[in-house]
A and B are shown apart, each in its own frame.
Chain A
Amino acid sequence: MNKLKKIAPELSKIKKEQPFGVPDKYFDDFSARLHHRLETEKQALPQPKNPFIRYLKPALGLAASFTLIFMLVYWPVKTFLPDYLAKTNTFIESTNEDDAFRTFIEKLDENSFFALLQEPHLNEETINGDFNDEELMSYLSSNISEYEIYLQSEN
C-alpha cells in the first residue's frame, strides 16, 4: 500500500472496493440456472455408441469399400465387355485342367512313371486316373513285387 502511495498517490486515495452490484439473489439462483443449461447441453451432446458397433464399424466400412470397388469394376466390365469376361473364364478353366494333370504327375513315383511310359496301350482315361480296382491289381502284380509294395506301404 505504501509502495502504491509512492508511485500513484492519486490512485491510492480511491476506495479499493468493488463498485459493481448484482441483481438480488443472483448467486442463489445461479446454480439452478446453470444446472438447467447443463442438462440442455448434455442432451445436445452425441450419445456414446455401443462398444461392439464401435469396434465393428471400421471392419464393416472396409468391407463395404471393397464391395463398392468390386462392383464399380465388375459391373461395368460385365455390362460393357461381356466377351472379355468369357475369355477370362475359359482361361481359368484350362488352367484348372493343367493343375489337375500336374497334381497327378507329382503323385506318381519314379517306377510307376517309367512303367506308364513303357505301356503304349494305355489310353488317356488311365493317365487321368480313371481305372478300376481290377486293372490296378493286375498292373501292380505284373510290374511290382510284393516286397516293393511292402516297402512302399511302410514308407
Chain B
Amino acid sequence: MENDDRELISELKQENTRDLAFHRLVKLYQERLYWHIRKILLNHEDTDDVLQNTFIKVWKSIGNFREESTLYTWLYRIATNESITFLNSKKRRNLLPLNDVSDYLMENLTSDPYFEGDELQMKLQQAILKLPEKQRIVFNLKYFDEMKYEDMSKILDTSVGALKASYHHATKKIEEYIKRSD
C-alpha cells in the first residue's frame, strides 16, 4: 500500500503524469474521505462541497507534500481542516459563537433526506453532536473508522495519550446521553 502511494505521489509531482495520477487518487480515496467529512458535517450537500475543496487543495499543494506522513493521513488532515474551516465559515455567517454550531448540525441531521439509520442510530448521532468539535472527530475516527491512535495523532496533531483520554471521555458522555434519553 505504501509503495503504491509512493508511486502515486511521484506521478502526482510530475507534470506529464499528474492528471492521470490525480484521477487515480480521487478514485482511491473519494469514498473514505467522503464518509470522514460526512460524519463531521452530517449533510450530503455540504459534504460534497467540502470533498471537492479537499481534492482541489490536494491538487494545488501536492508539490509541497514532503512525505513526512503517509498520503492517507495527509489527505485526512486536509479533509479535517477543510471541514472545520467550513463549519467556522458557517458560524461567522450565522453570527454564532465560535464553539457553537451544534444547532446548525442538528438541523442538518434531522432534515437529511439521506439518513438511513434507525431510531437508536439517530440517538447516537445526536449524542455525538453534543460533544465538543475535536472530541467528536476523535470519537468518529475511533468508533466508526477504527483508526489507529498513531494515525489520528498525525491527522489531528495531538498526542496519543490525549487522544485516548478524549475518546474515553467521549464514550462516557455518549453512554450517559443514551441512558438519560431512554
State the A residues within 8 Å of B (CB): 4, 7-11, 13-23, 26-27, 30-31, 33-35, 37-38, 41
Q: How far is the CB of B64 from chain A (nearest CB, A)?
A: 16
Whether a CB of chain A sits under 8 angstroms from the CB of B7 is no
Interface size class of B (residues with CB under 8 A): 35 or more
Q: How many A-B residue pairs have CB under 8 A?
A: 86
Q: Is B96 an interface residue (CB 8 A)?
A: no
Contacts of A22 in B (CB 8 A): 34, 44, 114
Residues of B near A33 (CB, < 8 A) are: 52
Q: Which residue of A lies closest to B31 (CB)?
A: A27
Q: List 20 A-B contacts (CB under 8 A).
A: A7-B168, A7-B172, A8-B175, A10-B178, A13-B120, A14-B121, A15-B120, A16-B143, A18-B35, A18-B144, A19-B122, A19-B125, A20-B42, A20-B112, A22-B34, A26-B48, A34-B26, A37-B52, A37-B56, A38-B56
CB-contact partner of A20 in B116, B178, B179, under 8 A? B116
- Please give the residue numbers on chain B whose beta carbons come within 8 Å of chain A beta carbons, in ascending order: 23, 26-27, 30-31, 34-35, 38-39, 42, 44, 48, 51-52, 55-56, 59, 112, 114-118, 120-125, 143-144, 168, 171-172, 174-175, 178-179, 182
A20–B38 CB distance below 8 A: yes
Report whether over half of chain A's contact residues are helix, strand or loop; otherwise say mixed: helix
Contact A34 B120, CB 8 Å, known A20-B115, A27-B31? no
- Identify the closest chain B residue to A4 (Cβ): B171
